[in-house]
Amino acid sequence: MTDEPGPAERARYLTAVRGGGRLCPEDLAPTVAALVARGLLTSPATGYTAANPRALGDRIGAELRTRAVRLLLHAERLPGTLRPLAHAYEALHGPSEPDGPGHAVRGVDGHDATGIRGRISELHAACKVEFLAAQPGHCPADRLQKTLTHDLALLARGCSTRILHQPATLDDPAALRQIALRTQQGAQARVLAEPYERVLVFDRAAAVIPAAEDRSRAAIVTDPTTVAYLVAHLERDWARATPADRHLNAPHPTTVRIGRLLARGLTQRAVATRLGLSERTVAGHVSRLRDRYGAQTLFHLGWHLHGERHG
């Protein structure tokens, strides 16, 4: 089975969605079986139900990125594996062209000063313009503390710094304080409650990504096309994330009350009447809520507030 659904599968999925998200349980077409196997349709006894394709996209995207890293690492190791054979051949036939100046991906083992940590420190020191980071899962305060000096040095040099976190990190008050130390110096931090991969990008010229599930090995990627691909995915996630300021600074109690009423579906005028405030005052609080949640419209804000209220 290929990574993506084919035309027939897509057509059958759209048929299910347009029909209210369901297909009859008697439908045994091969395309239906394929959609069930991909997770795009569930198959309860009462019929097939369409599932959200985003989950499939996230899973396949993660698998492709993992596969790409493994292939790049294999490409890096292959010359070394064949080098003894090449030396034996050249001893008999004479040397061939010398090795190239470097590789697009290099593996690094261990977390000591000569391993992953040391290489990341070197990249931090050489970074001149921009540092991007995606930190999935809970990032403990002690780990943030270890990189604080590097991050503040970047900001002092005028480097643009953007760091993406997941909500688990911002539930830790100590980690919040560490993030605040960076944002106070000009760093930008956002929060995305979706799965994404860990990546560090320096000047869009080098990226660091995990090369083992236990993160005992990392890959330093310098191939421009691969780095651009990683940056594009990070930018996509950044655009969907919300500013971390909403977690760093508690809103005014009146703002909280207005947000709760908006989440219940009340209009700004109804909120003003309920709380005995002017519509202009309510509009000011709503403006602060929109900035806090990164909402472009009142509908977008209501969506965020409703999700938080029921999350």
Going by the DSSP 8-state scheme, the letter that residue 98 receives in this structure is P
193 near 160, Cβ under 8 Å? no
Strand (E) positions, the chain? 22-23, 41-42, 48-50, 105-109, 130-135, 160-165, 188-191, 199-202, 206-210, 217-221, 242-243
Tens digits of residue pLDDT in 52-65: 888 778 777 777 77
Model confidence, pTM: 0.53
**Nearest CA among 261, 257, 256 for reference residue 246:** 256
Tens digits of residue pLDDT in 187-212: 999 988 888 889 999 999 999 998 87
Tens digits of residue pLDDT in 149-173: 889 999 998 999 999 998 888 777 7
Residue 190: partners with Cβ closer than 8 Å, 6 or more residues away:
162, 163, 164, 165, 238, 241, 242, 243, 244, 294
Q: What pLDDT shows up at residue 101?
A: 42
Looking at per-residue confidence, does 28 or 123 come out higher? 123
Q: Exposed (0-12), middle (13-18) or buried (19+): which is 36, by Cβ within 10 Å?
A: middle
- Which tokens in the block code for residue 198? 């860990």
Q: What pLDDT shows up at residue 18?
A: 80
44 near 74, Cβ under 8 Å? no
Confidence of residue 97 (pLDDT cuts 50, 70, 90): very low
Going by the DSSP 8-state scheme, the letter that residue 204 receives in this structure is T
Pairing of strands 105-109, 242-243: unpaired
Q: What pLDDT shows up at residue 250?
A: 56
